């Protein structure tokens, strides 16, 4: 009898605790969006502890005592820095809740019956989004990095794939660095990142981000696929990549996969002229550019102002750190309707044939003609 009473008391206590916890969650004054920010903060702190303990375990197996001490000291420093970063991410996610005026991101646009999607093969230049094209063949080249050391090639392929019942165009995005080949003195292209993005367009011209597979390289060797996500898998949802008719002040999610992909965009101006313009595609000559503010709570200190010209698309991005321009830019160099544009002198690619061979080797479906 005593055992039965104890069990009954235990069940009652657990039930009461569950009820109290649920009631507190409902009455603590925070929105689901804000609670999500706090839950991700707790998850981040747990990851920091796991990483710290794993590093300590590795330190234990170093041969020299001096190495073990230095290893533990470094682990403590990294733990403190990463714990602070968890707090920065929480603050950024909380700020995003206010900017988005969002309760919870519970609806995947790919599953919205009110949105009429079109087959990307049926989109042409007259019906494409003026800022982000899904027309097969569309190709552009960018220069990026602190010293323009990175070349970015974005190519809209003829391929598409079905995600959540929607046909999404495969858009290849490759970042490479040109280096001198030590063997023959020529140019070789070293991969930094090669991504397959998946875009869908609706009948009104809005473009949606269905997901991506991001392949990250170090010294031309694949090291991880961090940042990858696909709508419908592991709670990930699509977002609106770019509206056909942006409204100043509006902000929305471009993607949603907590801990992997959390990009957000806000439209700031429809006729902006940046302080330092793209020399080849100046906003002033076009009557002003669409200006956006792009940020992600995963990297709270890094944000960008981006500029787009209708009919051309992206022309310039200015990087900021803690709200201050860093001087690092990404600028459109050339644009065309096939990979042939890479051979155009205006793209300033030293060895187009070598570049295509390098891209073909690493992403054959996108770049092998």
The 10 Å Cβ neighbour count of residue 7 is 10
Average pLDDT over residues 336-356: 96
Dist CA 208 CA 192 (whole Å): 25
Dihedral angle of Cα 336, 340, 343, 345, to the nearest 10 degrees:
-30
Domain range annotation of the chain: 2-100, 109-367
Backbone angles phi, psi at 31, to 5 degrees: -75, 165
* pLDDT of 25 over the 70 cut: no
Residues 98-148 pLDDT 10s: 999 999 999 999 999 999 999 999 999 999 999 999 999 999 999 998 888
205 close to 244: Cβ distance less than 8 angstroms: yes
Query: How many H helices and E strands in the chain?
Result: 5, 16
Residues 265-314 pLDDT 10s: 999 999 999 989 999 999 999 999 999 999 999 999 999 999 999 999 99
Tell me the percentage of the chain whose pLDDT exceeds 70.
Answer: 92
Q: Which of these ranges, 79-83, 100-104, 211-215, has the smallest mean pLDDT?
A: 100-104
DSSP state of 208: E
Sign of CA dihedral 103, 109, 110, 114: positive
pTM value?
0.89
List all residues 6 or more positions away from 266 whose beta carbon is below 8 Å from its beta carbon.
Answer: 99, 249, 250, 251, 292, 293
Q: Write down the pLDDT at residue 23.
A: 44
The secondary element (H helix, E strand) that includes residue 25 is: helix 2-27
């Amino acid at each position: 009898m005593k055992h039965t009473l104890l069990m009954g008391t235990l069940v009652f206590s657990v039930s009461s605790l569950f009820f109290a916890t649920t009631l507190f969650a409902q009455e603590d004054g925070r929105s689901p969006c804000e609670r999500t920010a706090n839950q991700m903060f707790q998850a981040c702190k747990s990851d920091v502890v796991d990483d710290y303990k794993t590093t300590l375990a590795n330190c234990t197996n170093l041969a020299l005592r001096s190495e073990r001490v230095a290893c533990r000291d470094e682990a403590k420093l990294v733990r403190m820095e990463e714990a602070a970063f968890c707090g920065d991410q929480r603050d950024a996610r909380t700020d995003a809740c206010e900017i988005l005026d969002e309760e919870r991101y519970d609806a995947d646009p790919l599953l919205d019956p009110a949105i009429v999607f079109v087959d990307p093969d049926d989109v042409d230049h007259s019906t494409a989004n003026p800022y982000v094209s899904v027309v097969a063949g569309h190709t552009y080249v960018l220069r990026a990095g602190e010293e323009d050391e990175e070349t970015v090639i974005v190519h809209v392929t003829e391929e598409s794939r079905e995600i959540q019942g929607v046909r999404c165009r495969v858009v290849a995005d490759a970042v490479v660095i040109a280096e001198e080949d030590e063997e023959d003195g020529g140019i070789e292209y070293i991969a930094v990142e090669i991504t397959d993005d998946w875009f869908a367009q609706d009948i009104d011209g809005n473009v949606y981000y269905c997901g991506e597979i991001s392949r990250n390289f170090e010294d031309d060797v694949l090291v991880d696929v961090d940042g990858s996500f696909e709508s419908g898998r592991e709670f990930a949802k699509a977002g609106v990549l770019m509206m056909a008719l942006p409204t100043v002040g509006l902000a929305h999610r471009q993607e949603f996969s907590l801990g992997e992909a959390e990009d957000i965009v806000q439209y700031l101006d429809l006729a902006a002229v940046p302080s330092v313009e793209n020399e080849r595609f100046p906003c002033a000559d076009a009557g002003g550019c669409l200006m956006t503010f792009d940020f992600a709570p995963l990297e709270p200190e890094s944000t960008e102002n981006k500029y787009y010209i209708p009919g051309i698309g992206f022309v310039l991005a200015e990087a900021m750190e803690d709200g201050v321009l860093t001087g690092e830019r990404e600028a459109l160099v050339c644009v065309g309707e096939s990979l042939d544009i890479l051979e155009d002198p205006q793209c300033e690619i030293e060895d187009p044939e070598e570049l295509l061979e390098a891209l073909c080797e690493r992403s054959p479906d996108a770049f092998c003609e």
